[in-house]
A and B are shown apart, each in its own frame.
Chain A
Amino acid sequence: MADKKNTILIVEDEMDLRELLKNKLESEGYNVLEADNGRVGTDMALSQHPDIILLDIIMPQMDGLSMLKELRQDEWGKNVPVIILSNLSEAEKISEGLEKNVYDYLVKSDWEPDNVVALIRKKLGKNK
């Protein structure tokens, strides 16, 4: 674990889920930022520069994919690791026509919080 605590931004409109994740991540020793839609999420990301972003797709005001597009246009946002956590499946993801490999894509119901943490750890380790 690094000296400085890593910061994770959770962009998720479903409060219960957000709470669970926050709980889990904080117990794992991360700083957690929360946003409940893409608009707020973008602002928060661009001002606070979190180390990793967990992003839902279907959200009010601005959806996850639009936020991702906006993020990628930013100098800092270009390289920030993004894990998409969605309930849409792979097929839907592909039909959206986004390039692969710029993010990880998880179907929420197929994953458990432990697995998500493991993935985050792996991503942060690689980025260091």
Chain B
Amino acid sequence: MMSWFSITIIAVTFLSGLANMALAVYVYRKNPRERINKNFFYFGFAIFLWCLTKFISMLYKNIFWLEINYSSGSILELAGIYFSYALIDKKINKWVGVLLYVICAGFIATTISTNLFIKNLISFSDLGFKVDYGPLFYVWAIYTFLIVSVIVYVPFSFIKKADERRKKQIAYFLTGEAILGFWVLIISIILPFLGFTQFTVLDTPATLFLVGFTSYSIIKYHLMDISSLLFQAFVYALVIIVIISLLLLLMFAGSFLFAHFMIWPLYIIAVAVAIVLFFIGRLFFIEKRDLEKAKINLTDLLAKSEENRKRAETERDKTTTIISSFTDGLIILDENNDIFSINPEAEKILGLDKNKLLGKSFQTMAEYSKAEPIVSVIIPGIRNIHRREVEVNKKLIVEFSVISLTLNKSDIGHLLVIHDVTREKIVERMKTEFVSLAAHQLRTPLSIVKWSMSMLKKGDFGKLNKKQGEIVKNTFRNNERLISLVNDLLNVTRIEEGRYLYEMAMADIREIIKSVMENYKEEIKAKKIIIDFKKPEDFPLMMIDTEKIKLVVQNFIDNAINYSQPGGKVIISLKNDDKNIEFKVQDFGIGIPEEEQSKIFGKFSRAGNAAKMNTTGSGLGLFLSKNIIEAHGGEIWFESEEGKGASFYFSLPIKKEGV
């Protein structure tokens, strides 16, 4: 029957071997190609073998397994010295290597095959074998002493030269290795030298120091460049094993010394302490692992958010620079229509004080006299406004737009764009005023010419001969053309000044057409134009400004006659569908070139081919017509092909009441 102590020792021996093996395998798997990892594996495996053979020899208690155990000790020495060199990144001289191998092999061979190493196994106790050693043991002991010294010394001498990190990596490992080395030297070599061979079972558990310190070095200083949380988990498991093992060992060593008292209580206390330590260790580990994870996540997050913040800041700075260097005034309102931003140009144009307004409701701007007219336009409800002109005072006219800002379909506020148009408007107004004045001035001499010619024509100053009559008539007609140009100009200036007033009354549009055609009777006859107009029988009266609609009708017919070839045909039609009337004048003349079509309703617009054919057009007729028709709520358009003619249309809603 084995004692508890013996069983414990055997178990600890086995565990030590396993712990070393596990660490070795782990390190190797981590990076199999690295020399240091490979050598550490051999080293760990040799320790495992040494522990395992010791374990078996303790079970079988015979010389053979003891010899095998010593042999594996030799292998361990070999692996140890190779690892020491790998650790400091140095190589063993090839011939020294061969020599070491030969010595190792020699020891193994002689140990197993002869009794030069172990003569006899005297007895077996809980602490070990009492052995009668042969002479070779002493040789081996000295050799082992030297080798262990080298194993410890090589990394130790390197420490001084190594950098701080390597220094720490190696120092911890070395501490474990040194404890193991000296422990083994004392237990297995020095004591047997002195004749105490019976403690030898205690040498293998010292390998746990090596496992412990190596693991610590890996965790703390990434020995062999290992840095992994998984490894920490592994190590804490090992540490627990080591602690339990050492505790058990101490307890039983103690109990042996106290000759069997208190075995049970101590055992129980030891187990309890081990369990407590286990949980403390585990808790510590879990907490640390979580902390570590959290720290990594947090660091990542911080780095990312820092990066994002910098990027966002750069973007914001860019946007701010763009906004503040904009040549138009910009005011940004947030989703609550509070003032979010005002650029310097807006401050300048409207005389605002940004610092007093930011964050306040946009209505606050009404306190600034120049901004008040704009605010009063917006106040009924912020909506999109496109280029609204506001005369703030005599010296300031601004044009402003309101634009809704939407982001991902949600309203994020409004943008007010303010453009100072004072200069342009003043110049424009002066231009209009000048044209108006000039046109009025022109009317007086034109009237005198008109009246003179009229009276001459009608014989007020005596009868004219045929030639004279013709010349007077021509002069009169050309003067009329000038008058109508002046009238057009005046109408345009009125439209521009917003003074083109409409006097609406119920009227029959058929009568207007009739009277215009009457006016053109002579031209039609002269040019032999065929007019095709079927006057509709029933036609509704409409609310229109007769004089102005007459201008449009006249303009359409005038154009059709002017741009038709002599003998050409002009078709006039008038339709109604109870909601709208449609007036159309179609000619088969020169037509409008495609590239000119888009400009045809513009001011002073005349197509190139039209200008060649008829130099008298002012280019104002269609501009006026469009304004007049649109003021009546109607539409104006045309269809044309160059060389084939043109059809001009307008439609008017049939209204019975005033506009």
A113 touching B451 by the CB < 8 A rule?
yes
Q: How far, in Å, is A74 (CB) from chain B's closest CB?
A: 29
- State whether the Cβ of A24 lies closer than 8 Å to any Cβ in chain B: yes
B500 touching A91 by the CB < 8 A rule?
yes
Contacts known (A109-B446, A109-B483, A114-B458); A91 close to B501, Cβ less than 8 A: yes
B455 touching A24 by the CB < 8 A rule?
yes
- State whether the Cβ of A47 lies closer than 8 Å to any Cβ in chain B: no
- State whether the Cβ of B494 lies closer than 8 Å to any Cβ in chain A: yes
Q: How far is the CA of A112 from the CA of B440 in the complex (A)?
A: 18
Which of B443, B451, B500 sits near A112, CB closer than 8 Å? B451
Question: Which residues of chain B from 436 to 487 have a CB within 8 Å of any chain A CB?
Answer: 440, 443-444, 446-448, 450-452, 454-455, 458, 460-461, 483, 486-487
Q: Which of these binds chain B: A13-21, A38-46, A119-127?
A: A13-21
B447 touching A109 by the CB < 8 A rule?
yes
Contacts known (A94-B501, A112-B450); A17 close to B444, Cβ less than 8 A: yes
Closest to A89 in B: B490
B494 touching A91 by the CB < 8 A rule?
yes
Q: What is the number of residues of chain A that contact chain B, defined by CB distance less than 8 Å?
A: 22
Residues on B with beta carbons closer than 8 Å to the beta carbon of A49: none
Question: Which residues of chain A from 100 to 116 have a CB within 8 Å of any chain B CB?
Answer: 107-110, 112-114
Q: How far, in Å, is B183 (CB) from chain A's closest CB?
A: 120
Residues on A with beta carbons closer than 8 Å to the beta carbon of B443: 87, 107-109
Residues on B with beta carbons closer than 8 Å to the beta carbon of A109: 443, 446-447, 450, 483, 486-487
Residues on B with beta carbons closer than 8 Å to the beta carbon of A79: none
Q: How far, in Å, is B473 (CB) from chain A's closest CB?
A: 13
Residues on A with beta carbons closer than 8 Å to the beta carbon of B458: 114
Residues on B with beta carbons closer than 8 Å to the beta carbon of A27: 460
Contacts known (A91-B494, A109-B443, A109-B483); A17 close to B448, Cβ less than 8 A: yes
Q: How far is the CA of A109 from the CA of B494 in the complex (A)?
A: 18
- State whether the Cβ of B499 lies closer than 8 Å to any Cβ in chain A: yes
- State whether the Cβ of A88 lies closer than 8 Å to any Cβ in chain B: yes
- State whether the Cβ of A95 lies closer than 8 Å to any Cβ in chain B: yes
Q: How far, in Å, is B456 (CB) from chain A's closest CB?
A: 10
Closest to A28 in B: B460
B501 touching A17 by the CB < 8 A rule?
no
A113 touching B455 by the CB < 8 A rule?
yes
Question: Which residues of chain A from 1 to 49 have a CB within 8 Å of any chain B CB?
Answer: 14, 16-17, 20-21, 23-24, 27
Main secondary structure of the interface of A (DSSP, over half): helix
Residues on A with beta carbons closer than 8 Å to the beta carbon of B448: 14, 16-17, 20
A95 touching B499 by the CB < 8 A rule?
yes
B455 touching A20 by the CB < 8 A rule?
yes
A113 touching B447 by the CB < 8 A rule?
no
Closest to B480 in A: A109
Which of B440, B454, B487, B499 sits near A88, CB closer than 8 Å? B440
Closest to A13 in B: B444
Residues on A with beta carbons closer than 8 Å to the beta carbon of B446: 109
Residues on B with beta carbons closer than 8 Å to the beta carbon of A87: 440, 443-444, 447
B444 touching A20 by the CB < 8 A rule?
no
Q: How far, in Å, is B451 (CB) from chain A's closest CB?
A: 5
Residues on A with beta carbons closer than 8 Å to the beta carbon of B452: 20
Q: How far is the CA of A94 from the CA of B501 in the complex (A)?
A: 10
Q: How far, in Å, is A120 (CB) from chain B's closest CB?
A: 15
Residues on A with beta carbons closer than 8 Å to the beta carbon of B444: 14, 17, 87, 108
Closest to B450 in A: A109
Q: How far, in Å, is B449 (CB) from chain A's closest CB?
A: 9
Q: How far, in Å, is B416 (CB) from chain A's closest CB?
A: 34
Question: Which residues of chain B from 491 to 534 have a CB within 8 Å of any chain A CB?
Answer: 494, 499-501
- Chain A 71-100 near chain B by CB (<8 Å), digits 1 or 0: 000000000000000011111001100000
Q: How far is the CA of A109 from the CA of B489 in the complex (A)?
A: 14
Q: How far, in Å, is A105 (CB) from chain B's closest CB?
A: 13
Residues on B with beta carbons closer than 8 Å to the beta carbon of A23: 455, 460-461
Q: How far is the CA of A108 from the CA of B440 in the complex (A)?
A: 11
Closest to B453 in A: A112
Closest to A95 in B: B499
Residues on B with beta carbons closer than 8 Å to the beta carbon of A95: 499
Q: How far, in Å, is B486 (CB) from chain A's closest CB?
A: 7
Residues on B with beta carbons closer than 8 Å to the beta carbon of A113: 451, 454-455, 460
Q: How far is the CA of A108 from the CA of B483 in the complex (A)?
A: 11
Closest to B461 in A: A23
Q: How far, in Å, is A11 (CB) from chain B's closest CB?
A: 15
Residues on A with beta carbons closer than 8 Å to the beta carbon of B450: 109, 112
Residues on A with beta carbons closer than 8 Å to the beta carbon of B487: 109
Q: How far is the CA of A21 from the CA of B446 in the complex (A)?
A: 15
Residues on B with beta carbons closer than 8 Å to the beta carbon of A90: 501
Which of B440, B460, B490, B501 sits near A24, CB closer than 8 Å? B460
Q: How far, in Å, is A20 (CB) from chain B's closest CB?
A: 5
Q: How far is the CA of A89 from the CA of B500 in the complex (A)?
A: 11
Residues on A with beta carbons closer than 8 Å to the beta carbon of B490: 89
Question: Which residues of chain B from 385 to 444 have a CB within 8 Å of any chain A CB?
Answer: 440, 443-444
Residues on B with beta carbons closer than 8 Å to the beta carbon of A89: 490
Q: How far, in Å, is A48 (CB) from chain B's closest CB?
A: 25
Residues on A with beta carbons closer than 8 Å to the beta carbon of B460: 23-24, 27, 113
Residues on B with beta carbons closer than 8 Å to the beta carbon of A91: 494, 499-501
Q: How far, in Å, is A40 (CB) from chain B's closest CB?
A: 19
Closest to B503 in A: A90
Residues on A with beta carbons closer than 8 Å to the beta carbon of B440: 87-88
Question: Which residues of chain B from 282 to 307 have a CB within 8 Å of any chain A CB?
Answer: none
Q: How far is the CA of A112 from the CA of B487 in the complex (A)?
A: 16
Residues on B with beta carbons closer than 8 Å to the beta carbon of A88: 440
Q: How far is the CA of A114 from the CA of B454 in the complex (A)?
A: 8
Q: How far is the CA of A87 from the CA of B499 in the complex (A)?
A: 17
Q: How far is the CA of A23 from the CA of B444 in the complex (A)?
A: 18
Q: How far is the CA of A23 from the CA of B452 in the complex (A)?
A: 11
Q: How far, in Å, is B58 (CB) from chain A's closest CB?
A: 128
Closest to A112 in B: B454
Residues on B with beta carbons closer than 8 Å to the beta carbon of A16: 448
Q: A14-B448, A20-B452 are in contact. List 9 more A-B contacts (CB 8 A).
A: A17-B447, A17-B448, A17-B451, A20-B455, A24-B455, A87-B444, A88-B440, A91-B499, A112-B450
Between-chain CB contacts (< 8 Å), 21 pairs: A14-B444, A17-B444, A20-B451, A20-B455, A23-B461, A24-B455, A87-B440, A90-B501, A91-B494, A91-B500, A94-B501, A108-B451, A109-B443, A109-B446, A109-B447, A109-B450, A112-B450, A112-B454, A113-B455, A114-B454, A114-B458
Closest 3 CB pairs of A and B: A87-B443, A108-B447, A112-B454
Taking Cβ atoms with an 8 Å cutoff, the residues of A that contact B are 14, 16-17, 20-21, 23-24, 27, 87-91, 94-95, 107-110, 112-114
